[in-house]
Chain A
Amino acid sequence: MELKGAEILVESLKREGVDYIFGVNGGAAMPIFDALYNETDVKLIPMRHEQGASHAADGYARATGKAGVVLATSGPGATNLVTGIATAYMDSIPMIAITGQVMTHFIGSDAFQECDVIGVTRPICKHSYLIKDANEIADVVAEAFHIATTGKQGPVIIDIAKDAQNQETVFKYPDSVDIRSYKPQVNGDSNQIAKAAELIKEAKQPMLYAGGGVVLADASDELRELTLKTQIPITVTLMGLGAFPETHPLAMQMPGMHGSCCANYAFTDSDLVIAIGARFDDRVTGDLNKFAPNAKKVHIDIDPSCIGKNVPVDVPIVGDAKNVLKELTKKVDTPDIDPWRNQIQEWKQKYPFEYEQKGNKVMPQFVIEKIYEQYSDAIVVADVGQHQMWAAQYFQFTEPRQWLNSGGLGTMGFSLPAAIGAQLGCPEKTVVNINGDGSYIMTIQELVPAISLKLPLKVFIINNMYLGMVRQWQELFHGKRYSAVDYHDNPDFALLAQAFGATGLRVEHPEDVEPALIKAKGINDGPVVIDFIVDEEENVFPMVPAGKGLGDVIRGLS
């Protein structure tokens, strides 16, 4: 029996176990949307903007570990996906972006809604395909999922000409995928692992530095085993939060620009840094010349191009974090580092994350602390800005995939649609969206599908009436010239939520924070939006100013 290309696509997605596809309909993708009509295995989630659809697919992927799938039309539909694809690419999130393309004979003719999406997305995806013949669809889908979900994961784009969507042919899905030019190295070299074990044995001031790669490799259990066996202090990056429980005595919390003083001082004094699925990002290292100057570096990463990119490495180990950590744990001994651990504990106690209560104002950090008290088991989806840093600092993450955020690209507007994807992927979990007043309004339209789907999202806006992180930099480095950051003209988000059809609450006093959060727990027939009006000019500290070394961290409080 012959099927249309669009039907072959949907059948192929079923073979890959896709249960949700996020999309916005449009001309060149209509046959695919038609094939999804009344489809029950692959449920179509109509979003309000393609960017929102791409973040929803991304949030689904981050929360579940499965590839997220997004569907859009050609031209503007495809270009609206670009931010979402780049967001996923920077954080190595498995995603399949399917775009309709104009008819084959129109390609290259500047046809209506034509755009070279393959060309536009080339530097921001792991791979891409243009399909002009329906006979290629099944094989390409199988390859695309294989590529997106293995090795260093990432987004793959499938652009399908409209005539290929309508072309009828036989459907045959491949049993397996074998790409001769793509064989990720998953097992670490045993000699290199032995060298790393040797360095650990000799180290006096070692530290583990784990990143998002540990979460992506589902290697949190293995990371915990290594840490507990060696009793080496550990810092987990913004992208890796939850990979190791922050409540554990060995946890030094997040490193870097707004990280803990303890983790930053540890880097500065350490004699051995063991990086696992972390990429020595500039927001972590500060001035590279002052970064961990006395430390030998072991770097475990699935992507060889990531090793030695920013920092010279003594022992590179290419492989999947799960496999390498297992092997390393077998080979290591527990080093004798009591004085170092004592030093770490001293820093931890001396320099915790802290803030000053200003008068009767609602302090943003206080709101996060209260969210943590009420929602400690929730999946937290943060946006980008000050609230993101406060959430990372004051919420104690204990499980992988509990904390979702756009760490690499820093995409404002990410969180509300990503929370939709996370909630659909994990229906049994509570999903808390911690948002900012600037980022919330960038994708506020996605409140509509959240309401239609009756998703019990807890949307908490840390509203300081500013584009806060930029304002903080202007205060510190631009003489308080608050150019284009004043958001006092934003609408009343509680009333706006009500106008959308959600529950909207506004909190202006510290004593109302906890009752509102408790009230939100009881509202589960749709999203609840709480607008927390917080102190306007509170800054995120500690802070390592751009270009400075980690040892130069400004602690903030005198």
Chain B
Amino acid sequence: MNNEERHIFSVLVENRFGVLARVAGLFSGRGFNIDSLNVAATHDKSISQITLVTHGDAQIIDQIYQHLNRLIDVIEVTDLSTGRHVERELVLIKIATDDQQKRTEILQIAEVFRGRVIDMKPASIVLEVTGDEGKLDAAINIFRTYGIIDLVRTGKIAMMRGSEK
């Protein structure tokens, strides 16, 4: 589809069991895709924040927005893509480091991406890198040449810039 766009929805929900299943069911029941999903409590413990990345044409995005709003446990839905926003994602990458030379190179590359070493063993290293999607993709592409043993991404979190909520 040519008119498909990626959208980041910020969804504030009641912090109750079963809410995530309702949100996920909304997508699966209508054949919409979730590209990434992040859920955690906010500073208010009664409220959880879901950051959800999805894609579709304008009609599908509108339906997703409306159906999210229709769920009883959903307090507020914001389509962050409609405004200026910041987004971040975190990735943990475990890379094979069987020789000294390779380890040095990996550490140098990690510095370029402002990555941090979380764990170091004789034959492996675990790095943490944060950033937007493009930066993480670039880092992963380079580390792939050294042999990635394991990789976990958090999925995006995002918020509006400035003082607006």
B59 & A308 in contact (Cβ 8 Å cutoff): yes
State A118–B13 Cα separation when bound (angstroms). 18
CB contact list, A150-197 vs B, under 8 A = 152, 179-182
Which B residues are in CB contact (< 8 Å) with A119? 21
B73–A309 CB distance below 8 A? no
Interface residues of B in 64-89 (CB under 8 A from A): 66-67, 69-70, 72-75
Question: Is B62 touching A181 in the complex (CB atoms < 8 A)?
Answer: no
B165 → chain A, closest Cβ, in Å? Answer: 15
B31 CB–A CB distance under 8 Å: no
B residues neighboring A (CB under 8 Å): 13-14, 18, 21-22, 25, 29, 59, 62-63, 66-67, 69-70, 72-75
Which A residues are in CB contact (< 8 Å) with B62?
A: 308
B25 lies within 8 A of A122 (CB): yes
Instruction: Tell whether, in the assembled complex, residue A181 and residue B74 are in contact, meaning their CB atoms are under 8 Å apart.
Output: yes
User: Can you pick out 29 interface pairs between chain A and chain B where the beta carbons lie within 8 Å of each other?
Assistant: A118-B18, A119-B21, A122-B21, A122-B22, A122-B25, A123-B25, A123-B29, A126-B72, A127-B72, A128-B18, A152-B70, A179-B72, A180-B75, A181-B14, A181-B72, A181-B73, A181-B75, A182-B72, A303-B70, A304-B66, A304-B69, A304-B70, A305-B63, A305-B66, A305-B67, A305-B70, A308-B59, A308-B62, A309-B63
Query: Is residue A147 contacting chain B, with contact meaning CB distance below 8 A?
Result: yes
Excluding A122-B21, A182-B72, 17 further A-B contacts by CB distance (< 8 Å) are A119-B21, A122-B22, A123-B25, A127-B72, A128-B18, A130-B18, A181-B14, A181-B74, A303-B70, A304-B66, A304-B70, A305-B66, A305-B67, A305-B69, A305-B70, A308-B59, A309-B63
Bound Cα distance from A303 to B66, whole angstroms: 9
- A184 to B, closest residue via Cβ: B70
Q: How far is the CB of B61 from chain A (nearest CB, A)?
A: 11
Q: Considering the complex of A and B, which 4 residue pairs feature the smallest CB-CB distances, nearest first?
A: A305-B66, A181-B75, A127-B72, A123-B29
A residues 80-96 touching B (CB-CB < 8 Å): none
B24 to chain A, nearest CB (A): 10
Nearest CB of chain B from residue A92's CB, rounded to whole Å: 12
Nearest chain A CB to B27 CB, angstrom units? 11
Residues 285-313 of A, flagged 1 when their CB comes within 8 A of B and 0 if not, give 00000000000000000011100110000
Query: Which among A147, A152, A304 has the greatest number of chain B C-beta atoms within 10 A?
Result: A304
- A122–B21 Cα distance when bound, in Å, is 9
- CA separation between A235 and B74, bound complex, in Å? 36
**Which residues of A have CB within 8 Å of B63?**
305, 309
Residues on A with beta carbons closer than 8 Å to the beta carbon of B70: 152, 303-305
How many residues in A have their beta carbons less than 8 Å from beta carbons of B? 19
Give the residue among B18, B21, B72, B74 with the most A Cβ atoms within 10 A: B72
| Cα–Cα distance between A123 and B70 once the two chains are bound (Å) | 12
Inter-chain CA distance A122–B72, complex, in Å, is 12
Verify B72–A147 contact, CB threshold 8 A: yes
Given the complex of chains A and B, what is the CA–CA distance between A303 and B22 in angstroms?
18
Bound: A147/B71 CA distance, A? 11
Instruction: Find the B residue at minimum CB distance from A147.
Output: B72
A318 → B minimal CB distance (Å): 10
Nearest-Cβ distance from residue B58 to partner chain A, whole angstroms? 10
Given the complex of chains A and B, what is the CA–CA distance between A126 and B14 in angstroms? Answer: 16
CA distance A304 to B62 in the complex (A): 10
CA distance A179 to B72 in the complex (A): 9
Distance of A182 Cα from B13 Cα, bound (Å): 11
CA gap between A111 and B95 in the complex, in Å: 46
Kindly report which residue of chain A lies nearest to residue B66, judged by CB atoms: A305
Q: Name which residue of chain A comes closest to B73, CB basis.
A: A181
Closest chain B residue, CB of each to CB of A182? B72
**B148, chain A: closest CB distance, angstroms:** 36
Interface residues of A in 111-144 (CB under 8 A from B): 118-119, 122-123, 126-128, 130
Complex CA–CA separation, A127 to B14 (angstroms) = 13
Return B157 CB to nearest CB of chain A, in Å.
21
Q: Which residues of A contact B67 (CB under 8 A)?
A: 305
- A520-B62 Cα distance, complex, nearest whole Å: 53
B54 nearest CB across to chain A (Å): 16
With CB as the reference atom, state the residue of chain A lying closest to B72. Answer: A127
Q: How far is the CB of A282 from chain B (nearest CB, A)?
A: 16
A78 to B21: give the CA distance in the assembly, Å: 20
Q: How far is the CA of A304 from the CA of B65 in the complex (A)?
A: 10
Report A516 CB to chain B, min CB distance, Å: 47
**Chain A neighbourhood of B69, CB < 8 A:** 304-305
- Which residues in B have their C-beta under 8 angstroms from that of A305? 63, 66-67, 69-70
CB distance from B10 to the nearest CB of A (A): 15
- In the assembled complex, how far is the CB of residue A155 from the closest CB belonging to chain B, in whole angstroms? 13
Min C-beta distance of B83 to chain A, whole Å: 20
Instruction: Give the CA-CA distance A119 to B22 in the complex, in Å.
Output: 9
The smallest beta-carbon distance between B21 and chain A, in angstroms, is 7
Q: Which residues of A contact B66 (CB under 8 A)?
A: 304-305
Alpha-carbon distance A128/B21, docked complex (angstroms): 12
Residues on B with C-beta less than 8 A from A128 are 18
CB-defined contacts of B73 to chain A, threshold 8 Å:
181
Which residues of chain B come closer than 8 Å to A308, judged between CB atoms?
A: 59, 62
Contact residues in A for B22 (Cβ distance below 8 Å): 122
Q: Which of A123, A181, A309 has the most CB of B within 10 A?
A: A181
Residue in A closest to B24 when the chains form the complex, CB atoms: A122
In the complex, A152 Cα to B62 Cα: how many Å? 18
The residue of chain B having its C-beta at the shortest distance from the C-beta of A129 within the complex is B18
Compute how far the CA of A180 lies from the CA of B16 in the bound complex, rounded to whole angstroms.
14
B48 nearest CB across to chain A (Å) = 12
Looking at the assembled complex, report how far the CB atom of A461 sits from the nearest CB atom of chain B, in whole angstroms. Answer: 36
- Write out the residue numbers on chain B whose beta carbons fall within 8 Å of the beta carbon of A123: 25, 29
Bound-complex Cα distance A126 to B67 (A)? 12
By beta carbon, the residue of chain B nearest A118 is B18
A349-362 CB mask vs B (1 if < 8 Å, else 0) is 00000000000000
Question: For the complex, what is the distance from the CA of A54 to the CA of B70, rounded to whole Å?
Answer: 24
Of all chain A residues, the one with the shortest Cβ separation from B25 is: A122
In the bound complex, CA of A201 to CA of B14 (Å): 45
Cα–Cα, bound, A128→B71 (Å): 11
Q: Give chain A residues whose Cβ lies under 8 Å from the Cβ of B74.
A: 181
Cβ of B146 to closest chain A Cβ, rounded Å = 44
How far is it, in angstroms, between the C-alpha of A119 and the C-alpha of B66 when the chains are bound?
22
CB nearest neighbor in B for A143: B72
Q: How far is the CB of A538 from chain B (nearest CB, A)?
A: 38
| Nearest CB in chain B: distance from A288 CB, A | 12
Interfacial chain B residues near A304, Cβ < 8 Å = 66, 69-70
Which among B59, B66, B73, B75 has the highest number of chain A CB atoms within 10 Å? B66
What CA separation (Å) do A86 and B124 show in the bound complex? 54
